[in-house]
Chains A and B, each alone.
Chain A
Amino acid sequence: QKEVEQNSGPLSVPEGAIASLNCTYSDRGSQSFFWYRQYSGKSPELIMSIYSNGDKEDGRFTAQLNKASQYVSLLIRDSQPSDSATYLCAVSPEGYSSASKIIFGSGTRLSIRP
């Protein structure tokens, strides 16, 4: 069983709509949860982190965490063509630090159609 699972997509969303990306993880003791965006041929960049149950909003992005269901999601409001990328869900068994190991999912490819 994969430790972090995501639907590979592609997920196609019309411009201006809400994109919803989902992720499940297997280690119930995980403490830190992240969403990274990765453009083709580039390194991932951190866009959201969440540590406690509930929602966390940052601009057009909202991360949602449900530890009981071992489920993390990312909502992107008012989707723009520049949001087209692969979104990687990532989990750490410990609190986030400069030395904490992070386990990545294989990513969901998001395509925003004009």
Chain B
Amino acid sequence: GAVVSQHPSRVICKSGTSVKIECRSLDFQATTMFWYRQFPKQSLMLMATSNEGSKATYEQGVEKDKFLINHASLTLSTLTVTSAHPEDSSFYICVGGFQETQYFGPGTRLLVL
């Protein structure tokens, strides 16, 4: 089956720094990438949807200037959390869409101290 990877799997950073999370579709070209965030014991919340070569569409309440999404190619999307704060600590999951199916990445656990 199609595989989506994320890097890093875990990251700890200091408050105020920026963190970049990479999402790669390893054996398919993801026409659409979704980014979700999941706080402990809560549901996955969609942050944004991106299509290759175009700007991401952000969900209501998600700050586009804080969560920068780049989908420069059909196999790579990046999420940059700028000026991260402790409340940004969460589990970030990317999902790649291809041929009528969506494939979940393994997630990235971010801890902001």
Chain A residues with a Cβ under 8 A of chain B: 4, 8, 41-46, 88, 96-107
B82 contacts across to A, CB distance below 8 A: none
Chain B nearest CB, measured from A87 CB (Å)? 12
By CB atoms of chain B within 10 A, which of A43, A101, A106 has the most?
A43
User: Which 6 pairs between the two chains have the least Cβ-Cβ distance?
Assistant: A98-B97, A106-B43, A104-B43, A99-B32, A104-B44, A43-B107
By CB atoms of chain A within 10 A, which of B43, B98, B100, B107 has the most?
B43
Contact A44 B41 (CB under 8 A): no
Contact A99 B97 (CB under 8 A): yes
**In-complex Cβ contact of A43 among B43, B100, B106 (8 A):** B106
Answer yes or no: B42 CB below 8 A from chain A CBs.
yes
Given A43-B105, A99-B32, are A105 and B43 also a contact pair (CB < 8 Å)?
yes
